[in-house]
Amino acid sequence: MDQATPRAVWAGSLLAALSVSAEPAETNSVTELPPVKVVASPVTHEEWILDDGSELVLLSPAQLGVLNAQDVQTAIRQVPGVTISRYAPIGSYGGGQGGSVYLRGAGTARPGGEIRLYTDGVPRESGVWGHPLMDSMPVDFAESLAIAKAPHPAQLAGSFGGVNVQTRRRHEDGAEGEIDLAVGRYGTFLSSVSAGAKEGWADAYGGVSHKRSNGLRGHNDSQVDAAFARAGADLSEHERVDFIYQRTESKVEDPGEIHGIRPKRDRFDLDTDLYALRFSTSDRENVRGHSIVYLEHGDIAWHKDHLTDGNLKSPAGDADTTWLNWGTRHWYEVNPWEDLWFTAALDAASEGGHTKNVRADNGRKVFGFKGRFVSVSPYLGVRYDFNLTDDWRLTPSAGVRYYYHSAYDDEWAPCASLKLAYEESVEFFTTASRGIHYPGIYTRAVANDFARHTLGAEKLDYVAGGVKAKPAEGIDLTASVFHTDVKDRIDKTATGYVNSGNARATGVEVSAHWEPVDELAFFAGGAFTSPETHPVSRLPRWTGSAGATWKICDWLKWSVDGQYIGSMYAYSVRAEADAQNLRRLYDALVFNTRLAIPLESFTPVEGELYVALENLTGERYCYYPGYPMGGTMWYVGCRVKF
């Protein structure tokens, strides 16, 4: 994106991503964000504290390139407060936490239903299993990636946090394109092609990607394919409409626990088709927002050695699932008078489908169910900008979302925040909110009779406060303290899904960016979390990350980053002896590096040649019990832009 990208464009990206208001609009001036520089700040682009109390992290395509990100997990794994699970260079085995994202420990049940993933603001999850599937969320065509690490009813209905992948579109007249090719260790091959154009009021973008790998061990092959198309039209100076289509296909094998029996059949096949129509209005003096209508169809073919997970005596077979989700999302802000803003939002969705387990030897169905849930959740909010002086501004806000659900009790989710800002140098904030998450169809269907009546909406009460400061040119600091209190938490145990009660934790997160000159950038961040109940799945007490990017000369760029992952616990749902027990993952210190040669330094073509090394020191560690990551992973690639 051009260095003079206006703030309105990035704000629009965030609005589409998570239904947020990027800046108070007491004026409609075209204030600019810090430009996407030649040297991208490693790990994260920028932390945002928005006027409605939201805490966001925004990653640009430059950061995805520096991190050599192949999927959502590798794109965000070094953001403070984020942990992930994976065990292969590409592909996420969708059955049993083969690839997931966890935000401050949330996202562990089923797994991950509490954390919602979005494509251009459309929620992505299996309508039967009730959780996201990572391979349906390619980052190959991302214009930006936004992370909300906490609940906020105004923006995120039905979740404790969210991650959105915003797809590319051409913002200015002209055409552009990109070709990416890379090879890596373990027979890994990566490729993607995308192109877009804009002429007057019309624009379009499209792309395809193909990735495959032999994996780190035997029976660990994977292949992930994706395609997207986007067509848009400017209806006026302020309004536009977009149609978005995305298809994904993946086949990912499970190598099994390293000291166990190697699987013969275990493979997770996933196909999804997403259709979305989006209307938006922006940059008006008194109204802005958007409406989205969407439909997603998905199929899963889960080939199993044992239909009953963790039971070596159960027969081989297939778990076939089909789902169809549709819904609509609306979010609008109205400014009827001076610095007063009203927010109205509405989310309505229908999610459902069917699944069945069929024996491989005789084709007999041994288990199956179908169902559909409907949810409707309106939101109303208000905020006011008090201009205390020419330099100081105080913004209180409050709102509430109401939840209707066809299978569970109705719930209320209030939120309130207070933000004090001094020009653009310092922002103090405090916020309180409640997140609501309803169990999926599968959880209700397989729960034992004694537990089914205890299952309902999981609730997260969240309180936080902090500061974001820019004490000097090129320095950006953010620090926050938070407390989470989860009520009616659902866990999978040896007796099935049960209400495991409450889980509380208190934590601190800090991040710092320093760009002393255009050619050099540093980042450091960390998180400390202390749970009141021990142990808690996917919640390490300490995590930290740091990185640097240096443009050594016109023809060479070097980046290095490291991550400390503290000791934590995680479920292993595939090991027979302890499939429902928490197992310890030991701490690890992982370093990565990347050297890139800009093509424009010696050719008329824009792009780069690069070499990337992950786990430079060969650290032995696991994201998932019994599934050690390989040694040093290398990539050699080329990116060409035209």
Q: How far is CA 403 from the centre of its chain?
A: 23
Q: When comparing pLDDT for 106 and 209, which is higher? A: 209
What does 582-628 look like in DSSP terms, one character per residue? EEEE--EEEEEEEEEEEGGGTSSSEEEEEEEEESTT----EEETTEE
Q: How far is CA 331 from the centre of its chain?
A: 20
- Across 317-339, average pLDDT: 95
Residue 308 CA to residue 204 CA, distance in Å, equals: 46
The percent of residues in the chain predicted with pLDDT above 90, rounded, is 69
Q: What is the pLDDT of residue 10?
A: 35
Q: What is the pLDDT of residue 109?
A: 60
Whether pTM > 0.85 for this model: the answer is yes
Residue (of 217, 247, 210, 250) closest to 93 by Cα position: 250
Helix, strand, coil content of the chain in percent (nearest 5): 5, 55, 35
72: left (phi over 0), alpha (psi -120 to 50) or beta: alpha
The total of other beta-carbon atoms located within 10 Å of residue 477's CB is: 16
Q: What is the pLDDT of residue 66?
A: 86
Q: Is the pLDDT of residue 580 over 90?
A: no
Beta strands in 257-389 (DSSP E): 267-281, 287-304, 317-337, 340-359, 365-384, 386-387
Q: Using 50, 70 and 90 to split pLDDT, how confident is the model at 443?
A: confident
The contacts of residue 312 (CB under 8 Å, 6+ apart) are 261, 306, 576
Strongest mean pLDDT among 11-25, 367-381, 485-499? 367-381
Over the chain, what is the mean pLDDT? 87
Q: Is the pLDDT of residue 84 over 80?
A: yes
The percent of residues in the chain predicted with pLDDT above 70, rounded, is 88
- Across 278-293, average pLDDT: 91
Which letter, b or e, does each residue of 398-414 get, where b requires 16 or more Cβ atoms within 10 Å of its Cβ?
bbbbebebeebeebebe
Q: Which tokens sit at 180?
A: 């990416």
Residue 599 CA to residue 73 CA, distance in Å, equals: 29
Radius of gyration for the chain, computed over Cα atoms and rounded to the nearest angstrom: 23
- Across 83-93, average pLDDT: 91
CA angle, residues 371, 373, 379, in degrees to nearest 5 = 170
Q: What are phi and psi of 153, to 5 degrees?
A: -60, -30
What does 201-236 look like in DSSP terms, one character per residue? TEEEEEEEEEEEE--SSSS--EEEEEEEEEEEEE-S
Q: Using 50, 70 and 90 to split pLDDT, how confident is the model at 283?
A: confident
Q: Is the pLDDT of residue 152 over 50?
A: yes
Residue 277 CA to residue 343 CA, distance in Å, equals: 22
Q: Is the pLDDT of residue 450 over 80?
A: no
Q: What is the pLDDT of residue 30?
A: 28
Residue 194 exposed, middle or buried by CB count within 10 Å (0-12, 13-18, 19+): buried
- Across 505-533, average pLDDT: 93
Give me the amino acid identity at 151.
P
Q: What is the pLDDT of residue 493?
A: 58
What is the tens place of the pLDDT at every residue in 581-607?
678 899 999 999 999 999 998 899 999
3-state secondary structure of 76: helix
Question: Distances in Å between the alpha carbon of 393 and those of 46, 51, 285, 340, 385?
Answer: 21, 11, 19, 13, 7
* CB-based contact 461:487 (threshold 8 Å): yes
What is the tens place of the pLDDT at every residue in 475-491?
999 999 999 998 887 76
Q: What is the pLDDT of residue 309?
A: 73
* CB-based contact 190:637 (threshold 8 Å): yes
The total of other beta-carbon atoms located within 10 Å of residue 562's CB is: 18
* CB-based contact 240:251 (threshold 8 Å): no
Q: Using 50, 70 and 90 to split pLDDT, how confident is the model at 110?
A: low
Domain 7-371+378-454+463-641 in CATH 2.40.170.20? The answer is yes
Q: Which tokens sit at 22?
A: 């990027």
Q: What is the pLDDT of residue 277?
A: 98
